[in-house]
Structure 1
Amino acid sequence: MLFAIPFPDLSPDLFSVTIGSFELALRWYALAYIVGLIAGWWLIARALARPALWAGNVAPMLPEKAEGLLTAVILGVILGGRLGYVAFYQPAYYLQHPGEILAVWQGGMSFHGGLIGVAVAGWLFCKINKVSPLSVADAMSMVVAIGLGLGRVANFINAELWGRPSDAPWAVIFPGEAAQACAGPVGIVMTDLGAMCARHPSQLYQAGLEGLVMGAILLWLAWGRGWLKRPGALTGMFFGLYGLARFVVEFFRQPDAQFVTADNPIGFAYAISPELGLTMGQILSLPMMALGLVLIIAAGRTRPA
């Protein structure tokens, strides 16, 4: 390999202020969550203020209720994302260290766990407020790509969740000992500092597919094609698009290190051979795609009011 892109000099902190021995910092990742949640709340409130978008030309709830939904989503994302990471990726470790399960500041969040958490929180919100769960799910599905796209950009800035070694001309030399552990000749590039390992910037692939592409499709279907009039249809499309995008990107993303063994050097969660298998992200995406297809078919059989 003759060329690779050096990782830019980016700090994971947007800014930090030190007062005595106390340091206050705002990280890009936290900002991605904040902007994504606020933008999602604003768009949902705008959609609720337009009854013509919904079934029977009646919004499922008042726009003011979007604030309560935002609170439920925040709790669902944090608790579900953390517990999902614990259950899906490192259950043995956290069984031995239960005191660290809620230590979210140490890192470790799962999108699929956060999705389950949001689903539970949203269902409780609907039950308490007596609104249609499918319509509320459609509203959340319409805007979730904003947070996903921004979060993946923040992952790139943090130089985490990088991709597999690559000889592509846009491959990036990520910092850190773990990122420089190329198992073979693929991705090796000679620099002034010696041999370095270049990898796919898979975070940016995900930002493009899960953020820009999926978000544009979902907003177009919701605002331009009347998909909110068939409860469950937009939710199904979100499940299908996200599952497909994540499944594809996993071919370029470095699997989780905890699955790596001598017989499974790549780190598949389900290994058919040392070179072939499924990652945990792909395994969790398969039922999402199936559920999305079921929801779209079921919504298509209903007559819009």
Structure 2
Amino acid sequence: MLAALLPFPDIGPDIFTLELFGREFSLRWYAMAYIVGIIIGWFIAVQLFKRARLWPENKSPMTSENASDLVTWIILGVVLGGRFGFVLFYQPAYYFANPGEILQIWNGGMSFHGGALGVLIAGLIFCWKNKFSPLSVGDAIVVATPPAIFLGRIANFINAELWGRPTDLPWAVVFPGDAAQACATVEQMCARHPSQLYEALLEGLILCAVLFYLAIRKGWLKTPGALIGAFLAGYGIARFIVEFVRQPDAQFTSATNPLGYAWQIGEVGLTMGQLLSTPMIIVGLLIIWGARRRAA
């Protein structure tokens, strides 16, 4: 049966490694995903800002030159928010006991929900300092974000991390290391849902297509905030769905809680990803409702 499943591709986490001054320096796929994702996002935002006809009163909220300054704030928000979100949401006890490791981002550990919150704070500060419309700038940011999410999830797959639950579906993947050994049997190694690819499709490609359609074809950029709501609700729904087949973090699983619920009543519960995604869905829908109501 194992032969019918998909072997993990022979791709290492490092693109290349250089040895300089007696030390090794590696460029990892995950870092490259961040770099390329930010460049693509910057390009998309610049193109949107150049098209005044897409915005309220046919006036762009900022110039393309301002977008370059915004990127710096976005990078700070993503990195700091993503890291501190991971620390607070997923492993607070460990990092409070080992505070020296909190800033060791190179060892892994980033939270999308924390990164989103970091971008929100950074974007608000940037708009306040420069007197830009935070809703319109936010609309441009969320339209430019899904390509980076797509690349990040592909990097998660290459790194063989954040894998899915065990399954015998034809497209199940035999990940290397702990993922394969965790539920191995005498007959075969453990095969799992490639949940990173599910997220790349739902949170990346499909969400990107939806936001572009709403922005370009349906004119939602003329309704400040509507696309922010669409992004929050869309990402939240996609993440909530994938959590059903995504392996929960080890700290949430136990003999009495094998499904890794962070909140549970009886046999019903939600994973941490679902807990964090639920308010995103609710807030996103409320933002869309408020934006459309103001525009009516």
Which TM bucket (shorter chain)?
over 0.9
**From 215, 218, 223, the counterpart of 2:216:** 223
Aligned Cα root-mean-square deviation (Å) = 1.4
**Residues 275-290 of structure 1 aligned to structure 2 (within 5 Å):** 276-290=268-282
Partners in 2 of 1:189 and 1:113 — Cα distance? 40
Distance change in 2, residues 1:257/1:179 (3 Å): farther
Partners in 2 of 1:280 and 1:177 — Cα distance? 21
Cα contact 2:179–2:190 (8 A) shared by 1: no
**From 236, 244, 247, the counterpart of 2:237:** 244
> If the length of structure 2 is used for normalisation, what is the TM-score?
0.96
Amino acid at match of 2:282: A
Cα deviations by residue, 1:131-167 (Å, 9 ceiling, x for unpaired): 0010011010101101000000000000110000001
Cα contact 1:161–1:254 (8 A) shared by 2: yes
Counterpart position of 1:109: 110
Partners in 2 of 1:229 and 1:217 — Cα distance? 16
Cα contact 2:84–2:114 (8 A) shared by 1: yes
Deviates more, 1:8-17 or 1:130-139: 8-17
Counterpart position of 1:294: 286
Task: Measure how far apart 1:18 and its partner are.
Answer: 1.6
Counterpart position of 1:202: 195
Task: Measure how far apart 1:276 and its partner are.
Answer: 4.0
Cα contact 2:167–2:191 (8 A) shared by 1: yes
Partners in 2 of 1:44 and 1:96 — Cα distance? 41
Counterpart position of 2:205: 212
Task: Measure how far apart 1:302 and its partner are.
Answer: 2.1
What percent identity do the matched residue pairs reach?
Answer: 59
Aligned partner of residue 152 in structure 1, secondary structure: helix
Cα contact 1:84–1:109 (8 A) shared by 2: yes
Counterpart position of 1:54: 55
Aligned partner of residue 23 in structure 1, secondary structure: strand
> If the length of structure 1 is used for normalisation, what is the TM-score?
0.93
Task: Measure how far apart 1:20 and its partner are.
Answer: 4.5
Question: Does residue 256 of structure 1 match 2:249?
Answer: yes
Aligned partner of residue 228 in structure 1, secondary structure: helix
Partners in 2 of 1:189 and 1:286 — Cα distance? 40
Cα deviations by residue, 1:93-138 (Å, 9 ceiling, x for unpaired): 1111111111111110000000000000000000001000100110
Cα deviations by residue, 1:25-48 (Å, 9 ceiling, x for unpaired): 111111110111011111111111
**Residues 110-189 of structure 1 aligned to structure 2 (within 5 Å):** 110-182=111-183
Distance change in 2, residues 1:178/1:167 (3 Å): closer
Aligned partner of residue 196 in structure 1, secondary structure: coil
Gaps of 5+ in 2: none
Q: Which runs of 4+ in 1 moved over 4 A?
A: none
